[in-house]
Amino acid sequence: MDLTLKTLHLEDVLANHGQDMTGKIVAVTGTTSGTGYVCARELARKGATVILLNRQSQRATESAQNLQQEVPNGVFDAITCDLQDFASVQTAIDTIKSKYDKLDVLVNNAGVMALKDQATKDGYDVQIQTNVLSHFLLTKGLFPLLMASGQGRVVNHSSMARLGDPLDMKYFGKNGGNLGGDGTPEENLSFKGPRWQRYHQTKLANCAFTYGLKEKLEAAGIDQVIPLLAHPGLALTQLQFTTTEDGGMQTSEELMSRGQSAEDGATGIIRAAMDPEAQSGDFFGPENWKGYPDRLPPEDLLFDEANIRVNWEGCEAAVGTFSFSGARGA
């Protein structure tokens, strides 16, 4: 698709909601293209050391080289992290812990959308493991480094697909390949059916994780780490093309022309990562499909206690207990 969308908001966000990131360590998942690439680039331009977390591929290698070319003085550290493989995520955690004594920001950006009903090697739905379970594992594994920052941030990336049915525990279990099938062409064309229901569950789970983490940190008396939430609106990124190739949707120039550039789509996570005024639980993004990444009021279902419980219990059952022991006030 030959479509160019003008970037309208990135420069303003960086000027008015950014800060000097010199000396800060930031990890970002999914930086080979789109919002993750833009986020990594702008963090490096602000002086941060940026850890690039992607599965091993030629694309990952080339994107890291491109980032270095765009930011010649930037400090990038590419570490293999395949979110569809818990062992790979744990290895990435161990590698980061061996190289760094703190982590200032973790941007849980990577995601897949409306893919076929298939299981990962660990037995989970490919969408729930990529978008939710592995990010929970990454956050709990790196939590001691976030605490060591003294002002750590966990930035979770949701989407407009967060709106819909409540969370259902079946999507968090080892049910990959048995969660409704691939849907009809008509359903996929209209963003309905089982593919899109699985995707919705993951995007609502990103929100429930944010507000569940906020609750638990406050209950433990921990204020050294704050969770934040963002969404990109409809941004022109590789995400849509991957879904189209998998049969989950049909992209069109007319549809994407209603959205915004990848740069503007990244402004929500950029603001969450850098805004010096950000507070625990802040939600940044356009009001609808496109626009400035304002501070948004979260919908009730995002911090609904039942949704928080399903997400937390489902994630812990998959990847282990998130422990706050040893933290101040815990």
Burial (CB count within 10 angstroms: exposed 0-12, middle 13-18, buried 19+), residue 240: buried
For residue 136, the SS3 value is: helix
Is 174 a residue of the active site?
A: no
Candidate list 24, 46, 140, 203, residue with the active-site label: 203
Cα separation, 318 vs 310, in Å, equals 12
Candidate list 37, 124, 171, 199, residue with the active-site label: 199
Closest CA to 159 of 71, 57, 239: 239
Please write down the HEC assignment for all residues of 217-261.
HHHCCCCCEEEEEECCCCECCHHHHHHHHCCCCCCCHHHHCCCEC
Cα separation, 30 vs 192, in Å, equals 26
CA 215 to centroid of chain Cα atoms: 19
Is 203 a residue of the active site?
A: yes
Which residues are tagged catalytic?
199, 203
